[in-house]
Chains A and B, each alone.
Chain A
Amino acid sequence: QKEVEQNSGPLSVPEGAIASLNCTYSDRGSQSFFWYRQYSGKSPELIMFIYSNGDKEDGRFTAQLNKASQYVSLLIRDSQPSDSATYLCAVYGGATNKLIFGTGTLLAVQP
């Protein structure tokens, strides 16, 4: 079982819709959870982090964490073509005490 799992996609959504990106992790002791956006040919850019169960909102982005289910998600409201990128889920802490990345989900927002 991979430590951090994401559906590779592509996830295709129409402009203006809500994009839902999901991530599961295996280490129950993980403490911090991050979402990065990576445009093709560019480096990862931090979008959000979340530490506690529940929702955290920042503009059009909402991160959701459920530690009991070992599940973290990112919702993007009013999706724009400029949101088209690979979204990387990363998990920190637990046994490894380092940042572990998923393989990323490719999001394509159709105009």
Chain B
Amino acid sequence: SAVISQKPSRDICQRGTSLTIQCQVDSQVTMMFWYRQQPGQSLTLIATANQGSEATYESGFVIDKFPISRPNLTFSTLTVSNMSPEDSSIYLCSVSTGATDTQYFGPGTRLTVL
């Protein structure tokens, strides 16, 4: 499976600021996804990052709050904008090679908003 890295691994941010999370894969992948895992909860899909076009957002998530970029087949960013304490969560990048629908997860970014 692909090796996935995320930066930063954790951060503590102030309310009203923005944080950009990077996801880097060591090989080209077809699909990249962003998930959120709130404390004690399961994973919720935020959006599918599409290479060269706008991301596809799930219900309840909007581009103004979670802008996503995917400039190539190995890299994507998720920005959490105008943060509030409710955004405190683990943000996870996942990838699929496209040969199957199997997804592999990066190590995650633990975000705390004060």
- Bound together: yes
Query: Does the CB pair A42–B107 fall under 8 Å?
Result: yes
Q: Which residues of B contact A98 (CB under 8 A)?
A: 45, 48, 58
> Which parts of A29-63 form the interface with B (CB within 8 Å)?
31-32, 34, 36, 42-46, 49
Q: Which residues of B contact A26 (CB under 8 A)?
A: none
Number of interface residues of B (CB under 8 A): 20
Measured between alpha carbons, how far is A36 from B104 in the docked complex, in Å?
10
Query: Does the CB pair B106–A43 fall under 8 Å?
Result: yes
Measured between alpha carbons, how far is A81 from B15 in the docked complex, in Å?
40
Chain A minimum-CB-distance residue to B109: A43
Chain B minimum-CB-distance residue to A97: B101
Q: Is B72 located at the chain interface by the 8 A CB criterion?
A: no
Asked, given contacts A49-B102, A92-B101, A93-B101, whether A103 binds B41 with beta carbons under 8 Å apart, the answer is: yes
A93 to chain B minimum Cβ distance, whole angstroms, is 7
Measured between alpha carbons, how far is A50 from B67 in the docked complex, in Å?
34
Query: What are 12 residue pairs bridging A and B, where the CB atoms are less than 8 Å apart in the complex?
Result: A31-B101, A32-B102, A43-B106, A44-B43, A44-B92, A44-B105, A46-B1, A88-B42, A92-B101, A98-B48, A99-B101, A102-B42
